[in-house]
Structure 1
Amino acid sequence: MSKVDERVPVDGVPSQGQVTGPVRPPRVSARRRRPGVIALALALIAAGGAGVAVLLLQVGHRTEVVTVVRDVQVGQVLTEHDLGKASIALDPALKAVESDDLDSVVGKRAAVELKPGSLLSPTQVTKDSLVRPGEQLVPIGLKPEQVPATALVPGQKVQLVHVPAQGATASDADGDSPHGTIAGRVVKASKAAPGSGVVVVDVATAAADGPTAAGWVSAGALRLVLDAPDGS
């Protein structure tokens, strides 16, 4: 009897004489889709869409407003060079002049000191001159202990009170007004001077009372008293 050599394939290559059948392609199992992953993907897409929607709404609600681009002192007439425009998402609580109303504020006076980069509010401008016809402006220097704790703002009504120096009488002052007081209105108040702490307040008074108030200031016999908010 003859022996048949049985040869073992090396490295998966069939040896000579070995009969092999057709090679089947490897089976690829279908990937199972995880419901959790799908739900997460849908949630991310929805969140992204909501974020875009919010952004579009914010952009859609931006408002063109008037801004201040240069320093403007109290009483100064506003020009186009003092103002600019900006587009912002305006909080309803803020009252700002819209860009369409820019022409309506040009030519008016600053009722308060305006700083660059700030929004312009309707209450910060006035069509009235801070020193009206028939009035005079009296500068009054107040020592730190004479400055009211309440901030002095333009338009605030005050009383200028004559306080005679020690040993003098009220009749010593020329042109005393009745009761030793003069009605006035704050036009501007400076910041406290470094070192001395003195605050200079510009007060508008009737033209007839201006020289008297100036005399009281010169003699150091004047005090500034704030009126009640309603002017009473």
Structure 2
Amino acid sequence: MSKTKERAAGPAVAGIPAQGQPAGPVAPPRVSARRRRPGVIALSLALIAAGGAGVVVLVMQAGHRTQVVTVTRDVQVGEVLTEADLGQASIALDPAVKAVKASDLGSVVGKRAAVELRPGSLLNRSQVTSRSLVNAGEQLVPIGLKPEQVPATALVPGQKLSLKHVPAQGEEAADAKESQTPESVAARVVKAGKAAPGTGVVVVDVATQAADASRLAAWVSADSVRLVIDAPGGKK
């Protein structure tokens, strides 16, 4: 055999099989399998379940609507509510909003408005009252206040007032004591109107004892009454 043939049939060099000889089977590379931890798998499943539950809750809340009572027209303070003043609407109600439910509509019909009600608003139980704003033994007296006599503090129903008799300039007091200590009548705000166009006069309805109503009306007629707001708790 020639040397050329011997080299061709010689052994493999550097791991390369010799020419003419079939290569042996190649072993697949070893891949280390990851060890799965049961705790991680359980946590992943819990997170997926929680996310799905959250989506379901949001969808249910968005679809949950409540029938509530609405105001359909202007209602002044002290007016009795009728069914014509109220309507119903279906809304997604926030738990913080204490609106009257439509099923309780009958419980507010016949009550008086404790505040001024506007169309399109939701009715709240704090906005109605079963009490008359003018109690037994009281009378209602309207007082017109000029712009400079209107207090900057908003007058609200139920607010306590002291109505002072201030004689007009040149008017003689009945005695010296009256000139030093003005007469006063206790009253309570029933309703405060809006300033009249052009004049700016604000009419305030006040409730006072029937025994004082005539005297107060005379002061109003003579434009000799001034309004003083009592401090909370009755202290002046």
The TM-score with structure 1 as length reference comes to 0.71
Q: How far does residue 83 in structure 1 lie from its aligned partner after superposition?
A: 0.9
**Residue 140 (structure 2) aligned to one of 128, 137, 141:** 137
Match of 1:59 in 2: 63
Q: How far does residue 211 in structure 1 lie from its aligned partner after superposition?
A: 0.6
CA contact (8 A) 1:76 1:109 kept: yes
Match of 1:167 in 2: 170
Taking the TM superposition and a 5 Å limit, the aligned residue runs for 1:190-205 are 190-205=193-208
Instruction: Name the CA distance, whole Å, in 2 between partners of 1:84 and 1:99.
Output: 8
Give the aligned residue type for 2:110.
G
Number of corresponding residues:
180
CA contact (8 A) 2:161 2:227 kept: yes
Match of 1:224 in 2: 227
Secondary structure, aligned partner of 2:233: coil
CA contact (8 A) 2:166 2:182 kept: no
Match of 1:78 in 2: 81
CA contact (8 A) 1:170 1:180 kept: no
Give the aligned residue type for 1:231.
G
Secondary structure, aligned partner of 2:95: coil
Match of 1:213 in 2: 216
Secondary structure, aligned partner of 1:205: strand
Q: Which runs of 5+ in 1 are unaligned?
A: 1-46, 173-177
Instruction: Name the CA distance, whole Å, in 1 between partners of 2:116 and 2:182.
Output: 34
State the identity %. 69
Give the aligned residue type for 2:223.
G
Q: How far does residue 179 in structure 1 lie from its aligned partner after superposition?
A: 5.4
Secondary structure, aligned partner of 2:96: coil
Give the aligned residue type for 1:69.
T
Match of 1:114 in 2: 117
Match of 1:99 in 2: 102
> Is residue 210 of structure 2 the alignment partner of residue 188 of structure 1?
no
Q: How far does residue 126 in structure 1 lie from its aligned partner after superposition?
A: 0.8
Q: How far does residue 170 in structure 1 lie from its aligned partner after superposition?
A: 4.0
CA contact (8 A) 2:155 2:189 kept: yes
Give the aligned residue type for 1:76.
E
Q: Which runs of 5+ in 2 are unaligned?
A: 1-50, 176-180
Instruction: Name the CA distance, whole Å, in 1 between partners of 2:79 and 2:160.
Output: 20
Q: How far does residue 54 in structure 1 lie from its aligned partner after superposition?
A: 2.2
Secondary structure, aligned partner of 2:174: helix
Q: How far does residue 55 in structure 1 lie from its aligned partner after superposition?
A: 3.3
**Residue 150 (structure 1) aligned to one of 150, 153, 157:** 153
Q: How far does residue 227 in structure 1 lie from its aligned partner after superposition?
A: 1.3
Q: How far does residue 51 in structure 1 lie from its aligned partner after superposition?
A: 6.3
CA contact (8 A) 2:146 2:202 kept: yes
Taking the TM superposition and a 5 Å limit, the aligned residue runs for 1:7-26 are none
Secondary structure, aligned partner of 1:58: helix
1:64-98 deviations in Å (ceiling 9; x for gaps): 21111122122111111211111222233322212
Between Structure 1 and Structure 2, whose CA radius of gyration is higher? 2
